[in-house]
Amino acid sequence: MTYWAFVLTPLVVLLIVLLFRFVGCSDFEGADPPPPPRYRDYIMGEPNNPGPVKNTNVKPSSANVIAYWRLIDAAGAVEAKDEKGFQNGQYKEGFGIPPVPGSEGAPGSFLTGQKALIVTDPTTMCRFFNGAYVLVAYKKNLYTPEFTLEAWVDIRWGQNVVDFEHTLFSAGGFYDMPFDLTTTKAFHGFRVFADEENRWQMRIWPSTTNVFQSRPLVTRDGKTHIAVTVQKDGAVGPNKKVVLYVDGKVTGIGTVGFYSLPEHAPLLIGVANGSNDPVNDPLKPTQPMLCLVQEVVLHSKALTQEEIENHVDINKIN
């Protein structure tokens, strides 16, 4: 009889205690934090969690995303897919950019299969913009009075290469608006570029001076996040406040009196247009960016610093 007692004692205890095992099983997620959301999902407001970002109160949303070109399309692709479905871009290559004062020369090609700039998509390859570029044809509402333009880049021209400008985004030029007989030729649009001293800068037309007094040096030795925001400065009037962010930090704040939208002009990623008139003259790529570019997002509002910090944080996770 004692034998039975000893057999049963642990069995009873085992049974009772094992009933509680559920709390220690895989139902619990353990001490590790949940996996971070994919960068793309975060931008599109589709994350299942906000991830380990600094500003957890910021709700990601795609409502203000006009277009989102990840630029990870396979080699040979003609179109740069817009995740938002607003307007696909077109990969343009197969021409050379001759060196001229202020612009490096480049073979006008893409080098595909480059290491991803996004840690949540490590197997996704991006492109080296070696003088080739992406053209986003004009479409109504592509440009808005307030906007944010952001991208991840990895600079590839040399530190000692000076006296050249390298353009990341450009839209517009010196032209008169089609179908509007009341206008004459004027500057419209904007350009985001690294200046001849390799510092980030921006120009917003019709002003012909650069926006930022404080110009951060371009970042080398790896990826960097660059974003510019343009928003109304003050309740009334056409003044715009322009903010430049590098890796989520405010590196420059400038004010322009007016921003003339580059209506009818394409948005160029990776080059500037050497032709004055983007509507009537053939496009003449110049000032190639010579870097890896990925995750270009155009928003219809000026993102807050917290929102931009989160975009950087999401891509910090290793």
DSSP code per residue over 164-219: --EEEEEEEEEEPPTT-TT---EEEEEEEEE-TTSBEEEEETT--SBS-SS-PBPP
> Among residues 71, 74, 46, which one has the least CA distance to residue 60?
46
Q: Count CB atoms within 10 A of the CB of residue 218.
A: 21
Distance of alpha carbon 57 from alpha carbon 60, whole angstroms: 9
For residue 233, which of 262, 211, 208 has the smallest C-alpha distance? 211
Q: Tell me whether residue 22 or residue 258 sits nearer to other proteins (CB atom).
A: 22
Instruction: Answer yes or no whether residue 179 interacts with other proteins by CB under 8 A.
Output: no
Identify which of residues 90 and 305 has a Cβ nearer to other proteins in the complex: 305
Binding mask 116-155 for other proteins (x = CB under 8 A): ----------------------------------------
Residue 18 or 235: the one with the smaller Cβ distance to other proteins is 18
**Window 249-308: residues binding other proteins (CB under 8 A):** 249-251
Binding mask 200-229 for other proteins (x = CB under 8 A): --------------xxxx-xxxx-x-----
Q: Which of residues 227-246 bind other proteins (CB under 8 A)?
A: 246
Examine residue 78 and tell whether it contacts other proteins (CB under 8 A): no
50 forms part of the interface with other proteins (CB under 8 A)? yes
161 binds other proteins (CB under 8 A): no
CA distance 109 to 278: 21
In whole angstroms, how close is the CB of 235 to other proteins at the nearest point?
23
Instruction: Compute how many other C-beta atoms are within 10 angstroms of the C-beta atom of residue 15.
Output: 10
| Residue 63 interacts with other proteins (CB under 8 A): yes or no | no
Which residue's CB is nearer to other proteins, number 134 or number 290?
290
Q: How far is the CB of 243 from other proteins (least distance, A)?
A: 13
**Residues in CB range of 114: below 8 A, 6 or more apart:** 125, 126, 127, 128, 292
Q: Based on the number of CB atoms within 10 Å of its own CB, is 6 exposed (0-12), middle (13-18) or buried (19 or more)?
A: exposed
Interacting residues with other proteins (CB under 8 A):
1-25, 27-34, 48-50, 52-54, 56-60, 199, 214-217, 219-222, 224, 246-247, 249-251
